[in-house]
Each structure stands twice: as C-alpha cells, then as structure tokens.
Amino acid sequence: MDALQWAKVREAFNELIDLPTAARALRMAELVAESPVLATEVEQMLQADAQAGTEQLGAIAGGFAAAVVARERGKPVPRDLRVGSQLGSWLLVKVLGEGGMGSVFLAQRKSVGFTQQAAIKLLRVGNQSDEARRRFVAEQRMLAALQHPNVAHLIEGGISEDGIPYLALEYVDGVPLTRYADQSAASARERVNLFLAVCAAVEHAHQRLIVHRDLKPGNILVDADAQVKLLDFGIGKLLHELDEDLQLTATGMRLFTPGYGAPEQLRGEAVSTATDVYSLGVVLYLSLIHI
C-alpha cells in the first residue's frame, strides 16, 4: 500500500470509528461501492480496534472480580479518587483525561515558598488486574530511565492509601502538535523544527531501548513557549529484559491507535524502533498538510 492509499484508509477509519452502528454500516456500504480494496483495509482496522477494546474490557472484568474477592475476605476495597481528593501530598484539582483503563488529573501540592503542579495518572479501581499493574509499573520504570527536555518527566510513583497505583508526571500546559502548528500559522521551517524536537525525544527513548508504540499528535504537546513535550509511555515497550520479565508482548495485545499504527501493529506482528519511525512519518505528514 502506497502513502496516498494509506492516507485514504486512515482518513476513512477516523471518520467511521466515531459513528453509531447504523450510520457506520451505511457509510461502509458507500465505501464498498467506491473502492472495495479501501473498504477491506478499513474494515480490518475497525476489527483490530474492536479486538483491543474487548481485551481492555476483559482486564477490567478481571480487576472487578478481584475487588469482589477482597470484599468477601473482609479487606477494604479501593475507591476511585475524584476531584478534591487528597493523594498523599497531592490535591487532585481537575480531570485532564479519562479512559477505560484510568484517569489523569491535574494535581498540586504546596510547600514553604512554592506550589508544584503535576499530572497524576491513576489506574481505575475496576482495572486492578495483575496485567494492568505490571504495565503501570513498567511505565514507571521506563519514565524513570528517560531524562530529556522534550519528554514529560516522572516526578514520583507510588500507591494511594486505598491501594491505587499512581504516577506523578510533569504537567504540560500545551496543545497537540498539529493544532499548535495550525493555530500559530507556523511556517514549514517552524513545523519541521518542532518535528525535529519530537525526533530528538524519540531518539532518546530508542537509545534506551524503549519503543513508544503510540506516537500521535495527542501525545505530543507544545506549550506557549513553543516547547515540545512527548507524553504517555503507557503502552511503551522495552526491547529486552522488561519485555521478558513482564510479558508485555502477550499474543493478541494490540494496544495502539490504529490511525497512526505501523503495518506490523495492524497485523499483530512484533514491533521495533521502526514502528515509531513509521508513526513519526504520519505525524510529519499531518503537521505539513495544512500549510
């Protein structure tokens, strides 16, 4: 599949993924009439996305079952934290994002003479499965290994009093790379310079044998000072010992964003640093398309 065809497939997928079932079926029928080959590729991406969702639900169900067992044994069952909750020295101020696996809060803590902000990432109580916890610990270890000005750094990690794992990360007050470039009417040179900062962050991770696996504009923020920050190594993967110790490449685990995933991810094959390079190409294309 050439780059133009892949761009059409990705565009069609992004259109269909948010449609209700009936509307999706109608649009799919139109695609089949327009281009059977394109429709087949899009259908495969939709199936991969659905499979990933099923696996996440399975992990959540496993966590729920563990909570039920804990209750039956008389152990305290953790509760999801909310805005206004205290997490150690951190006060959760507002929700920055939510998903099936967890939530991210803006948090702050005060000390003598200063107030510090952080993005607090929490696993949902219903997702306290062994696999989810292993991935969470893996993310903490990966972030601890990354020290780069274009990577949102780890401040601390721990477990709440209720037993909920959390990560405190550098808070980035920014917007996605492509939106920043368009809103600021950045020139081609300026856009390429922003992209080179992203490449530097990814190169830093690759030098430490870490593959991000979910590079997309939403995980690349630019602040008011035009500083680029790469976020979310939640589905990242170490290429050697952690991969074996934590079994992060279990058969069937396809955790990525299909619209930006490399062909080997869509096929469920092994990933490598080349996987991130492919996604970087998609990000660059989207960064330059509206000049």
**What percent of the residues of the chain are helix, what percent strand, and what percent coil, each to the nearest 5?**
50, 20, 30
Task: Name, in order, each residue with C-beta under 8 angstroms of 255's C-beta and a sequence gap of 6 or more.
Answer: 52, 213, 214, 235
State the burial class of residue 181 (Cβ atoms within 10 Å of its Cβ: 0-12, 13-18, 19+).
Answer: buried
State the burial class of residue 128 (Cβ atoms within 10 Å of its Cβ: 0-12, 13-18, 19+).
Answer: buried
Catalytic choice (214, 225, 232, 245) = 214
Q: Which residues of 233-261 are buried (b: 16+ CB within 10 A; e: fewer)?
A: bbbbbbeeebeeebebeeeebbbbbbbbb
Decide if 173 contacts 119 (C-beta within 8 A).
no
Q: Is 232 a catalytic residue?
A: no
Decide if 204 contacts 148 (C-beta within 8 A).
yes
Catalytic residues: 214
